[in-house]
Structure 1
Amino acid sequence: MISFGSDVRVFVATQPIDFRKGVHGLVALVAEGLAGKPYSGDVFVFRSKRSDCLKLLVFDGSGLVLATKWLEDGDFAWPPVREGTMRVTGAQLAMLIEGLSEWSRVVPKVTKRPTKVV
């Protein structure tokens, strides 16, 4: 299982991409097509035209990591196709990668911060 900390920013590209794209093609897509910053440490998730494949792109501080996952059986539960990206949490990303359809219904817990120091 791949997991990320609660502070990671994850962006899911909602439109399918040409899955022949490699690292350089996805970096260009993030920078130009999605107005993102590919070297920021944010995680970018891409879907194929078929709903059984995904790609992750992330800069880990020393280089770019590109991971691909195909489901042997079933499909990923993708958001509706539209322009741009959808922001999700690290927990939602882990559920998406596992192929769980409920990932989009998970709501992050709101953390209250103290208002004054004692």
Structure 2
Amino acid sequence: MLSLSSSHTYYLYAAAVDMRKSFDGLCGLIRNQTVKNPASGEVFVFLNRSRNLIKLLHWEHGGFVLYYKRLEQGTFTPPALSGTGGSIRWPELVLMIEGIQVEKSRQKLRYQP
């Protein structure tokens, strides 16, 4: 069942990834390069070198789910990582997937408990 939402933590893998990798190969990248647990419930985002393919790896109840999108035209533009360990926010992921590039924006302060 599709269950991605703003309640998850998203991590963008910084390097280009060979998109022939599937569940086990991507889990190996996560374990070896980011020292995170792929089965933690966090969502890991991967792009290929030409940035026209994207994969999202996510652990759900009982197993991994792999979301995969290929663009026929254009590229994905990843958000600038600002020293947050590769973490991106849900709105940034949605904008990247939908192909919307914000030239200038400012985030207003919001209360966070």
Q: TM-score range by the shorter chain?
A: 0.7 to 0.9
8 A contact 1:9–1:42 mirrored in 2: yes
For residues 57-81 of structure 1, what are the alpha-carbon distances to aligned partners after superposition, in whole Å with 9 as ceiling and x for unaligned? Answer: 0001221011111112211102569
Within-5 A mapping of 1:44-63: 44-63=44-63
TM-score where L is the length of structure 2: 0.81
> Percent identity at matched positions?
28
1:93 aligns with 2:93: yes
Aligned length: 110
Structure having greater relative contact order (Cα 8 Å, sep ≥ 6): 1
Structure 1's consecutive aligned runs of 4 or more residues displaced over 6 angstroms after TM superposition are none
Distance in 2 of aligned mates of 1:103 and 1:94? 16
1:18 aligns with 2:5: no
The Cα RMSD (Å) is 2.8
Structure 1 unaligned runs (5+)? 114-118
8 A contact 1:77–1:99 mirrored in 2: yes
User: Quick one: which amino acid aligns to residue 72 of structure 1?
Assistant: E
Structure 1 pair 64/108, CA: closer, same or farther in 2 (3 Å)? farther
Q: CA deviation at 1:103?
A: 9.2
Structure 2 unaligned runs (5+)? none
What is the match of residue 35 of structure 2?
A: 35
